[in-house]
């Protein structure tokens, strides 16, 4: 999963399959009858992004390449592992006190048992 992928434009154009499609939705006939939507598939990683929000195929293509670069960079980012910490004594006491109060209020709701 920690493979390194180049995110510059030339490398993306080399490694991606570009597919044009009809980008449905609002926007009138110029958007609905012309293949302005762009789908990019990054062959090495299998990631797929689409851009259909503009009427221009060129603008959608640019947006798709930007999204692909962003996704690849996010995927390659090294996450620092979370360090487990213990709750403080004060927070533990507060939590137990809240539990006692809630328990008491629930006990008050029940019907008293006549002995």
For the question of whether the overall pTM of this predicted structure is more than 0.85, the answer is no
First to last CA, the chain: 66
pLDDT of 113 strictly over 80: no
**Count of alpha carbons within 13 angstroms of residue 36, beta-carbon side:** 21
pLDDT in tens, 34-78: 888 999 999 999 999 999 988 889 999 999 999 999 999 999 999
User: Which has the minimum average pLDDT: 33-37, 57-61, 92-96, 104-108?
Assistant: 33-37
User: What's the CATH code, domain 9-76?
Assistant: 3.30.160.20
Find out whether 61 and 18 touch, Cβ atoms under 8 Å.
yes
**Residue 103: per-residue pLDDT:** 95
Cα separation, 64 vs 2, in Å, equals 23
Domain boundaries, the chain: 9-76
Neighbours of 21 (CB within 10 A): 13
């Amino acid at each position: 999963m920690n493979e390194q992928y180049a995110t510059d434009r030339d490398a993306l154009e080399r490694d991606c399959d570009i597919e044009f499609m009809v980008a449905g939705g609002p926007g009138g006939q110029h958007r609905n009858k012309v293949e302005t939507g762009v789908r990019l598939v990054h062959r090495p990683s299998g990631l797929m992004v689409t851009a259909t929000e503009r009427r221009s195929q060129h603008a959608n293509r640019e947006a798709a390449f930007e999204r692909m670069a962003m996704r690849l960079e996010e995927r390659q980012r090294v996450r620092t592992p979370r360090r487990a910490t213990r709750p403080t004594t004060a927070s533990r006491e507060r939590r137990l006190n809240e539990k006692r109060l809630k328990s008491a209020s629930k006990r008050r709701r029940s019907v008293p048992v006549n002995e």
